């Protein structure tokens, strides 16, 4: 039996994909696999028996990736599963920025006991007047799963869309509307767009990407939308620009002391993926990734190990080996199998940075002694029998 644990509430629709071979445990240290959403794992000890972690979402800042890699624990995420939910919130953010919807709602609440509210509304509504988004220029930084959905939806809303992504995938390019202008220099977006939304991963290289210098290039009527990660934007520079009238509004999904309560900042409490559909989609995808890894050894959508797929095992046995990406590692584990008289039928080995992963199909089952011999090879992190 494979034991799984949930470190956060995980959609039942996802968990129902587990077969009878899987049993849930509330004891994290006993689990073979773990599912997580936002639980902070950096202060949690990683059990030696833990094989994999499935993040039901895209961001993995709450998971100690390097420590997982050192112990041979594969970490998965679910890119694109919550993309539509985030896309819809971005569109809502643009509409809220264009029309002072929030201000109008708050005014109505303040006047709720006024019997003359209908008449007063006709006088006061001009203070909440805004603009339409049709015909405006939208700049999108990052054309991945979310960015491309935002781009295509904005085209249908009549916006003039400009996209910047020097690393755009072939799949994303095919899915992108032909009406999106592909920009080679991100400063063109900073200088010319009325709305700017960012959809890139939170990396050291992207931290503070929308910087003070970038903001200074923008028009004073520009609206910045951040529904990706707060660290992507220099929010101190944003607040300063808003106070000086250098920006129109800042729409963000990340509540923190820097932006909450600042005039012309609209903050939502990390609602991007908080839809029933997104939570279901992420859970289903995470469970299927974990099951394919446990049952077949395949890795899809890992954030710390290479993707590696050999389908289902048709041989007598299959081994999965996580090891350091060093010279002669294949020779060493192949030698351990050969010395025991085990023939390799098929194998694949993929690397990602310092780490590598091998799937090895053999013509006869591997004995416990063979497994111990492979585990004894320096720089082998984890070995397990799939079949």
Distance CA 248, CA 38 (A): 32
| DSSP string of 8-77, one letter each residue | S---HHHHTTS-TTEEE-S-GGG-SEEEESS---TTS---TT--EEEESSS--TTS-HHHHHHTT-EEE-
pLDDT of residue 141: 97
What DSSP element (H or E) covers 349?
A: strand 344-352
154 token code pair: 């904005």
Task: Report the DSSP beta bridge partners of residue 347.
Answer: 360
| DSSP string of 297-342, one letter each residue | --B-SBSSS--B---S--SSEEEEEEEES-TTHHHHHHHHHHHTTP
What residues contact 335, with CB distance under 8 A and at least 6 apart? none
Nearest to 84 by CA among 17, 149, 141, 11: 149
What residues contact 314, with CB distance under 8 A and at least 6 apart? 361
pLDDT of residue 167: 86
Distance CA 387, CA 367 (A): 12
Nearest to 340 by CA among 357, 317, 323, 320: 317
Burial 128-140 (b: 16+ CB within 10 A, else e): beeeebeebbbbb
Distance CA 135, CA 160 (A): 6
Nearest to 224 by CA among 143, 139, 165: 139
Distance CA 195, CA 93 (A): 10
Nearest to 381 by CA among 291, 320, 311, 316: 320
Per-residue confidence in pLDDT tens, the chain, 387 aa:
999 999 999 999 999 999 999 999 999 999 999 999 999 999 999 999 999 999 999 889 899 999 999 999 999 999 999 999 999 999 999 999 999 999 999 999 999 999 999 999 999 999 999 999 999 999 999 999 999 999 999 999 999 999 999 988 888 888 999 999 999 999 999 999 999 999 998 888 899 999 999 999 999 999 999 999 999 999 999 999 999 999 999 999 999 999 999 999 999 999 998 999 999 999 999 999 999 999 999 999 999 999 999 999 999 999 999 999 999 999 999 999 999 999 999 999 999 999 999 999 999 998 999 999 999 999 999 999 998
Pairing state between β 317-324 and 355-362: antiparallel
């Amino acid at each position: 039996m494979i034991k799984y644990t949930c470190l956060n509430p995980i959609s039942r629709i996802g968990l129902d994909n587990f077969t009878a071979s899987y049993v849930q445990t509330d004891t994290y240290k006993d689990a073979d696999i773990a599912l997580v959403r936002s639980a902070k794992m950096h202060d949690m000890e990683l059990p030696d028996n833990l094989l994999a972690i499935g993040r039901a979402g895209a961001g993995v800042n709450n998971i100690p990736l390097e420590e997982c890699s050192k112990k041979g624990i594969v970490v998965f995420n679910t890119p694109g599963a919550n993309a539509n939910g985030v896309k819809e919130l971005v569109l809502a953010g643009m509409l809220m920025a264009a029309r002072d919807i929030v201000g109008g709602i708050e005014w109505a609440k303040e006047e709720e006991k006024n019997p003359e509210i209908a008449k007063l509304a006709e006088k006061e509504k001009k203070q909440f007047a805004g603009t339409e988004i049709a015909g405006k220029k939208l700049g999108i930084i990052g054309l991945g799963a979310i960015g491309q959905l935002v781009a295509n939806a904005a085209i249908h809303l009549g916006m003039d869309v400009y996209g910047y992504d020097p690393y755009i995938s072939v799949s994303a390019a095919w899915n992108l509307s032909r009406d999106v202008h592909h920009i080679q220099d991100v400063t063109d977006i900073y200088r010319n767009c009325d709305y700017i939304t960012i959809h890139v991963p939170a990396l050291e290289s992207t931290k503070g990407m929308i910087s003070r210098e970038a903001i200074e290039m923008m028009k004073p009527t520009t609206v910045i939308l951040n529904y990706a990660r707060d660290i992507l934007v220099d929010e101190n520079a944003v607040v300063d620009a808003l106070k000086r009238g250098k920006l129109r509004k800042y729409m963000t999904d990340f509540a923190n002391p820097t932006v909450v309560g600042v005039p012309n900042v609209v903050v939502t409490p990390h609602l991007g993926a908080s839809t029933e559909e997104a939570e279901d989609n992420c859970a289903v995808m995470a469970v299927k990734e974990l099951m394919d890894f446990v049952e077949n050894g395949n890795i899809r959508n890992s954030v710390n190990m290479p993707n590696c797929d050999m389908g289902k095992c048709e041989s007598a046995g299959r081994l999965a080996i996580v090891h350091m990406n060093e010279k002669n590692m294949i020779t060493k584990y192949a030698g351990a199998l050969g010395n025991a008289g085990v023939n390799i039928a098929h194998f694949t080995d993929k690397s990602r940075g310092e780490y590598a992963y091998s799937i090895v199909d053999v013509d006869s089952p591997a004995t416990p002694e063979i497994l111990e011999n492979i585990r004894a090879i320096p720089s082998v992190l984890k070995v397990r029998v799939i079949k």
